[in-house]
Amino acid sequence: MIPTSYPDAQEIARLSARMLLEIQAVHFNADEPFTLASGLLSPTYIDCRKLISYPRIRSTLMDFLTVTVMRNAGFEAFDNIAGGETAGIPFAALVAERMALPMTYVRKKPKGYGRNARIEGAMSEGERVLLVEDLTTDGGSKLSFVDAIRDTGARCAHTAVIFYYGIFPETEKTLGDHGVNLHYLCTWWDVLAEARSQGSFDKATLDGVESFLNDPRAWQAARN
């Protein structure tokens, strides 16, 4: 079923943050920071993959993501929904179901045998493709997926994620320079506000996280 009427963007952000906190997908630890894939340290970590195990929350967030994309990009803006390997695949399937569109997925690299394909499923030249992922930090990882889609002759000018870090100012420019618009449900700022409202973590932890969010590069430089 295609959702058409849901809360405004601000309320969607608050509710999305609340749901991520409820299932303990959000982790804060300023004293013993997490090591990110980049090798840099962070007092924050989020595991959006956990959402697939919570049907009510999963369904609500996918409704939110679908209506957000349609509101921002248009109700007839896409012909194909592509998920990025691996975390984006289940969410792309759920969005495709709601939008009544074909679903495909994009490998991180060619599989190395058979057709040596990066695109799995049927994608045609000229199709307008929405790339769906779980989250984005600085936007860089999305570009390889977008290029693989465009290599088929299809068009990809939009990506949608559940969670956007929202703390690196270059992210939307990086995507925009590549001709890609970003759509998302909530950011670290939304999660921090909801965590303070609920008292999900102690004040010292939340203050430490806020210090990181205000200047993440300086925070990391001081600890690496």
Structure tokens, 6:
């849901």
- Name every residue whose Cβ is closer than 8 Å to that of residue 126 and which is 6 or more positions away in sequence: 153, 154, 155
| Residue 68 near residue 185 (C-beta atoms within 8 A) | yes
Q: State the angle between helix axes of 55-73 and 88-99 in degrees (0 to 180), rounded to the nearest 10.
A: 70
Q: 190 a known binding residue? A: no
Cα–Cα distance for residue pair 39/136, rounded to 1 Å: 16
Q: 111 a known binding residue? A: yes
DSSP bridge pairs for 92: none
Q: 141 a known binding residue? A: yes
**Residue where the block lists tokens 């569109």:** 101
Q: 134 a known binding residue? A: yes
Q: 59 a known binding residue? A: no
Q: 8 a known binding residue? A: no
Q: 137 a known binding residue? A: yes
Three-state SS at 180: coil
Q: 135 a known binding residue? A: yes
Q: 138 a known binding residue? A: yes
- Strands annotated E in 71-154: 80-84, 103-106, 119-120, 128-136
Q: 133 a known binding residue? A: yes
Three-state SS at 123: coil
Query: In Å, what is the CA distance from 2 to each residue of 15, 156, 217?
Result: 20, 22, 40
Cα–Cα distance for residue pair 136/88, rounded to 1 Å: 11
Q: 36 a known binding residue? A: no
List the binding residues. Answer: 107-108, 111, 133-141
Binding residues for 5-phospho-alpha-D-ribose 1-diphosphate: 107-108, 111, 133-141
User: Residues annotated in the binding site for orotate, as ranges?
Assistant: 137
